[in-house]
Amino acid sequence: MVGGRYRLLRTIGKGGMGMVWHAHDEVLGRDVAVKEVLPPPNLTELERDEFAVRTFREARAAGRVAHPGVATVYDVLEERGHPWIVMQLVHSRTLGALIREDGPMPPARAAAIGLQLLEALRAAHAAGVLHRDVKPDNVLLTEDGRAVLTDFGIATTEDEAPVTRTGILVGTPAFMAPERAAGGRASPASDMWSLGVTLYLAVEGHSPFQRDSALATLGAVMHAEPRPLARAGVLAPVLLGLLRKDPAERMSLDEAERRLATIMTGGAPERTGPVTVPAATPPWRTRRRLLPLAAIAGGALAVGLVTGGAAWWSQRPQDTVTPTQLPAVVTTKATTVYESPTPELKTTQPEESAATPQQVSPRSTAPPPRSTPPPTREQPRSPSPSGKQKSPTGEPEPTKTKKESTARTPGQVEGAGNGRAAGKDKKPKKGKKSA
């Protein structure tokens, strides 16, 4: 018997903050649930008194919430050195027990439970009360399909700090929001995080952050990403939105309620995902990053200049080289034509003459066209056009002197085709034939 009226019948639940009993109210004649709130061990007498005062304050805050989805708080008392909270008894089994016994549930059923829990949290938040320990073992599922949020034993108002004066961080580590795990204040977004972890466990069958120890679990909550979803299906966008580390980016209650209602009606859920917010970079890191970037840019510019200069040098137009005009010395042999009185007996005999240097014109890039082929060794040269006509005595005319020979046109060579052209015009006179 507790408080002179509540007879304890059997244990129906146990948690880190105490035990829940099925009891009977001897005064009103009804069954109730009585939670025995056990203080943490190793507390001094003064710390125990502070803990009791705080529990009474939290129970009174939870008593202000009136909603069908919230287990009503009837009474709070102190006995046997610790507080007791008397609540509405709901004949049901917890969501945690259902998952452990039957395994993960379909996403549509989890969405229906989540929608009812959102309505209960809306009523609590409207009264200024934060639950701070939303988890499957605190969700009751009735036989008619209702979901009831219970165990407001550690509930508090929004303006209270998350850590007690004794330094105890209240709540279940695997379901605690990152801002609370880091020592920050609780907020309505903290309850939304806990709801997201609860629905994750309902469809996946395991916790996204549970580790071997409480300290490792808190570290995973603050720094690790949730384990990949395998069974969430259409519920995945809602879970990812509720499990965002930053409470400012976390999915709000209104948005989560709208998305879950869409899933219940069979509509396609909207895509969502974590928003990446660039972290502020310290100025000294920015300067250190700019130095290597400047060096890389300078090196690239130098390579570009060298490469471009080499390409221009290799593709530049070549200067035309004009050959230097050099004098050419041509040595020819003067040819003396001997002609007998008989036209059939004509002989030629070359005479050695001194070499006469002659200046020829510079070589041209293309040879001049020739009208007749040059003479060969087998073909005798024609009489020189500069030779004089034979005398009446039949003796050949003497050749020109060196002075006359050098008076020719520059580039003209003795014994060349000029004599051939002159020989064509020269015809023997009929009167000079011998009898």
Query: Which residues are catalytic, by number?
Result: 133
426 is in an annotated binding site: no
CB 189 within 8 A of CB 54: no
Nearest-angstrom CA–CA distance, 83 and 299: 75
CB 3 within 8 A of CB 55: no
CB 410 within 8 A of CB 358: yes
DSSP 201: H
Nearest-angstrom CA–CA distance, 403 and 407: 7
Q: What is the DSSP string of 249-271?
A: TSPPHHHHHHHHHHHHTTPPPPP
257 phi and psi angles, rounded to 5 deg: -65, -40
Nearest-angstrom CA–CA distance, 155 and 340: 152
DSSP 398: P
Q: Which amino acid is at 36?
A: E
3-state secondary structure 54-92: HHHHHHHHHCCCCCCCECCEEEEEEECCEEEEEEECCCE
Q: How many helices (H) and strands (E) does the chain have?
A: 11, 12
CB 141 within 8 A of CB 215: no
Terminal-residue alpha carbon distance, the chain = 183
DSSP 26: T
Nearest-angstrom CA–CA distance, 432 and 435: 9
Q: Which residues are annotated as a binding site?
A: 35
Q: Which residues are annotated as a binding site for ATP?
A: 35
